[in-house]
Structure formats: C-alpha cells, structure tokens
Structure 1
Amino acid sequence: MNREELISKWLDNNLNDQEFKAFKNLEDYDDLVKLNNSLQGFKADNYNTSTELEHVLSSIKTKKQTSTHWFKPLMRVAAILAVCFSLYYFATSLDTKITTEYAQKTTIKLPDASSVSLNAKSYLAFNKKDWKHEREVELHGEAFFKVAKGSSFKVKTASGTVTVYGTQFNVKQRDNYFEVICYEGLVGVTHNAIETKLKPGDSFLIIDGKTIAKEKENRIMPSWLNNASTFRSLPYKTVIAEFERQYNVNITLIGIDSTQLFTGSFAHDNIDLALKSITLPLHATYSKSNNTITLKGE
C-alpha cells in the first residue's frame, strides 16, 4: 500500500494493525499526527488548500530571507498540509455506492435499518458518515424502499426528488422515464419545483416530458421484486428496454411501432416464455442469435 493510501485510511480511522505499523514507519509520521491534531477545528469544505499553500509560498518569497534553511521545512509542512486537507475531505465525503448489472438485483440495508431493493442496471449512493444528520440517497435506475421511522428521507434522481412521509414506495428513473408509486404512508414527489403528494396506490409518471395519468395501484409491492415486469398501457419501447436490462440482450424491432401502448408482463427467469409474452399480443415473431434478438411485426 502506498503512502497516500495509508494516510487516507488513517484519516478515516480505517487502518488494520499491519497497516498502522506501516503508517508509523513513515518518515513524516510525527508531522502528520501533529498536523491532524491541529486541524481538528477546521471545516474541510470551507478550506481552500490551493489558496492557502499559494499564500504560504508567496509569504516566503516576499520576505527574501538571506538564509534558506527554513525554506525546505516550510515547503514540506505546506505540502503535508495540502495533502492532509485534500485526503481528509475526500475520505470523509466519499459516498457508499452500490451498482447492479444486467440481470442482477440486490437488497441493501441502510445505516438506520431501512432497506432498498435495487432492480437490474441501477445505481444507489449515500453518505454513511452523515446518515444520522441527513438521510439522503442518489438513485439512477429503479429501487423499492422500505424506510424506517425517523427524520426526513430523500431520494434524489435526475428527474426529481422524492421526499418520504411514509415507509414503502418504488422509484424508477430511466431515460425519459420517471415514475414513483406509493405503497404505504405518504410520499412527496418534487418535479420542476412542484411537489405532488402521493397516498397508497397513487402514482406519479412522466414519459418523454409528459405527465401520464395512471389507474390506482392495487398491488402491495412492485412486480419486479417477484421476478416479473408488469406494464399497463405503456409505450412498447419501455417494455423492450426493461427486457434488455433483465436478460442482458440487444433487441432489434422490424415492422413494429415502438410507441404503441402495451399491457402485459414477462418473467425474469425464462427468456423464451418472456419473449412469447411480449410478442404474441402484437402477433409478432422473434429470432435469436447469440445476444441479439430480432422482433418482427406482421
């Protein structure tokens, strides 16, 4: 492990016994400890290390001391100062990140015992260190949340922010697709600076920038948690995109209108059965070649 990694893990109090021995053997160990003790009162996010380092060097040049025996020690301290601040800021602001790949799902326990189930090809990030002060996650993709009681809980997406007043809800944010379904409690969805409150069974859906009205949701959880994707009057292109994520394939449409509305479902554990589920209602046929599937209309 190199010097920078040792310092970073030390600042994060994450060294094991062997790594700590290696850290103590660094030639500037004493300087690092003294600097860290002196820096405890500073706020890292308001401190510009580059500016301060430039200020130190400028002061040294301005004084034009005839003796240079102080220059190297000061340079060394300034360099250590810059490294400590930058590494400390990086280490303490580093998010916990979870990513699922094609055909993969996972469930994560958050620091407050809340749980998040991530659908295929999704990304979730949160700051574990600040969780007690701010329960906030960043989501790209789709996830089902069961939120423990406590302070405000927010889900930030590229399309809008979901504020939790209840406990169970599903968020799906894909390309030109943003949907929130409340299953229990109360959920607030902020989109374009306007908040919409959702009660159990209510949905908020925007496709290609347009708000879409949906029927009341009568399921107690999203179908994808049971390895199936269900669609109700949604554009066929959203069905295809989800199929590709669940089976890690590329689908080509020939003679099929991708904007037509589709109602139906497909399973995540049997590709041939799933293909029949999305082609038979359209009287379409399909052919497979390695990882590529071609759907043909009549």
Structure 2
Amino acid sequence: MKDNDKIDDTFLARWLNNELTEKELSDFKNSEDYVAYKKIAQKSTLFRVPAFDETRTFEAIQHKIYHQNKKVKKLVPNWVYVMAAAAVLVFGFFLFKEDQTTITCGVGEQLAYVLPDGSQVELNGNSSIIYVEKKWKEGKRELDITGEGYFKVKKGSTFSVTTKEGKISVLGTQFNIQSIDEFLAVECYEGKVKVENKVEKTILTPGKGVKINQAVKQNYIVTDSVPNWKVNKYNYNAIPLKVVFKDLQNVYQLKFINNGVDLSKLYTGKLLKNDINKALQIICKPMNITFEVKEKTVIISQ
C-alpha cells in the first residue's frame, strides 16, 4: 500500500469482511506486508479466548513477521500494529522457535487452528501440536500431538500425526486422536486412517475406532458423527482413569492432585457435567477412591 494512502480505523475490519473497494484491495495486495497479514488472518480462529501473556504473544507475532521478510527492516505503518493487536485476540498460545511452531490449548479451552495446507485441527483442553512449517512447504505434512485433537485433512500428500504411543497417517479424511501416557485412541469419521505402533498396523474406515492401552489393542464401533468431547458428552467403556480425570479437569477447569491413585485402572461409566461433587462420586465410589474438593483443586486418594 502506498505510503501516502490514508487508512481509516475501519480498514482492516472492512478487508476481513470483503468490503474494500477494488482500488483499495488492489493497492493492499501490492503492498509488501500483504502476504504476512493474510497468513495471520487465515491461521487465527478460536472458539473462545484463553488466558495468555499478551505481550509475549505480540512479540512472537512480530518476530514471525520480521523473519518472513529477508530485506532490511523498515518502519511499520500504524495499521500493521492494529492488525497484530487484533491477531492477539484470536490466537491461542503460539510459540515460534526457529522454523518450529507450537500451538497450545489450555485446560478447559477448545482451540481451532488452520494448518499451512488448509487442513484444520480442533484441540481439546490441555493439548498441543508441534510442526515445522518449512517441511509443509516441501510437501511433508507432519506434526506431533499431545492430548486430543479432531482433524479435517485436505486431500494431498500423506498427512502424518505422531504421538508417543504411535503414528497416524491419512491422505484426506476426518478423524480424532487422543494420546495420554501409554493410551492411544483413534476414531475415523471420513476416509481411511492408518494407525501404527511398535507392534502392529490397523486400518480404520468411517465408523471404526481403535484404542491401544499399554500395548493392548481393542477395536470398537463409533456411532456418533463427531467426537464426544465436541458435543460435551463423555461415556467410557474400559477407559483408563487418567483419561477420565483429564476430561473432568477440562469440563470443570480444575487442578488435580493425585495421592497414590493408580490411574491406569479401567473405568466404565459416564461423566456428569453440571455438578462436580456428583461427578466425582459417580467416578470415585466404584473405584474405591476418596476425594476432597478445595476451591478449584481436587485431591484424590486411595
């Protein structure tokens, strides 16, 4: 955009809403900063704003923008800072480390994120992904995940998600991954999903799921069209307590202190969503677990 152009306070809002005139849009697209800010707008989508350090996030965005331009650093027009400030409001926690990008979703939050190829991931609370953008530009669609995420993958080259418990590969599909300490659950909603661990390989088709708990595999049928957590419904069939308590932590936004409870024990039942004490009673009583609630902290003992 030309330096002598006057940008009013509504310029960016009109751009995001496709309300610029042809001349304004043409001048904007010809500016050196257009690519960087178009990318910010495409990647920033969030269900609700999590708590985060605004200064740190803003500095990370500015750092990213700086390294996208290899020329001598120049003065940035005022509208650029407005755009960066707007991005802070819609980003989750982003960490840029060289070419590595980390996206983190806090406890009790849900975060939607657009990957470099246009594929989408929706992260459940207390989850994160890591990827190297340079590899994606080379056609290698790879990322690591900790926690739980629902993916909508665009068709193209192989799309791979690595967890500590195994690797999931697809071409174009919709699937959910949950990975927590030696437990891995993968559900396929569209297309085909390949799940591999150190022992074997499983191919999932729509309506099929597999869970691997401490190297023991079990296939199951998926009856819903989206993961349970997306519709706030939690039912369990022989699921480790560590998974159950992580879900409870996200639903009620609580901190847990474990005093000797074996979280590898399997639980069958449901999670009540509107009463923390009743929810804990339903889970803990059949498992012979005692609990104490202190404000936003739950202490479980056995």
TM bin, normalised by shorter chain, reads 0.5 to 0.7
Q: Which residue among 52, 68, 82 is the counterpart of 1:12?
A: 68
Note the aligned Cα RMSD (angstroms): 3.4
Measured against aligned partners, the alpha-carbon deviations of 1:192-211 in whole angstroms (never above 9, x if no partner) come to: 17432111222222212x32
Larger helix proportion of the pair = 1
Q: Which has the higher mean CA deviation after the structures are superposed, 114-123 or 187-196?
A: 187-196
Contact in 1 for aligned 2:157/2:171 (Cα 8 Å): no
Q: Which residue among 141, 158, 182 is the counterpart of 1:135?
A: 141
SS of residue matched to 2:239: strand
Contact in 2 for aligned 1:134/1:152 (Cα 8 Å): yes
Structure 1 partner of 2:238 = 233
Structure 1 partner of 2:154 = 148
Q: What letter matches 1:18 in structure 2?
A: L
**In 2 relative to 1, CA 259–149 (structure 1 residues): closer, same or farther, beyond 3 Å?**
closer
Instruction: Give the TM-score normalised by structure 1.
Output: 0.62
Q: What letter matches 1:134 in structure 2?
A: K
**In 2 relative to 1, CA 215–130 (structure 1 residues): closer, same or farther, beyond 3 Å?**
closer
SS of residue matched to 1:212: strand
Contact in 2 for aligned 1:250/1:292 (Cα 8 Å): yes
Measured against aligned partners, the alpha-carbon deviations of 1:202-225 in whole angstroms (never above 9, x if no partner) come to: 2222212x3232431211111111
SS of residue matched to 1:264: strand
Q: State the percentage of identical aligned residues.
A: 30
Give the CA deviation at 1:260: 4.5
Name stretches of at least 5 consecutive residues in structure 2 with no aligned partner.
1-61, 78-95
**In 2 relative to 1, CA 273–122 (structure 1 residues): closer, same or farther, beyond 3 Å?**
same
Structure 2 partner of 1:244 = 249
SS of residue matched to 2:229: helix
After TM superposition, the structure 1 = structure 2 runs for residues 214-293 of structure 1, keeping only pairs within 5 Å, are 214-246=219-251, 247-252=253-258, 258-267=263-272, 270-279=275-284, 286-293=291-298
Number of residue pairs matched by the alignment: 221
Rounded to whole Å, the distance in 1 between the matches of 2:64 and 2:207 is 47
Contact in 2 for aligned 1:227/1:267 (Cα 8 Å): no
Instruction: Give the TM-score normalised by structure 2.
Output: 0.61
SS of residue matched to 1:278: helix
Structure 1 partner of 2:170 = 164
Larger Rg: 1
After TM superposition, the structure 1 = structure 2 runs for residues 92-241 of structure 1, keeping only pairs within 5 Å, are 94-132=99-137, 133-192=139-198, 194-208=200-214, 210-241=215-246
Rounded to whole Å, the distance in 1 between the matches of 2:129 and 2:63 is 27
SS of residue matched to 2:126: coil
Measured against aligned partners, the alpha-carbon deviations of 1:41-60 in whole angstroms (never above 9, x if no partner) come to: xxxxxxxxxxxxxxxxxxxx
**In 2 relative to 1, CA 276–161 (structure 1 residues): closer, same or farther, beyond 3 Å?**
same
SS of residue matched to 1:150: coil
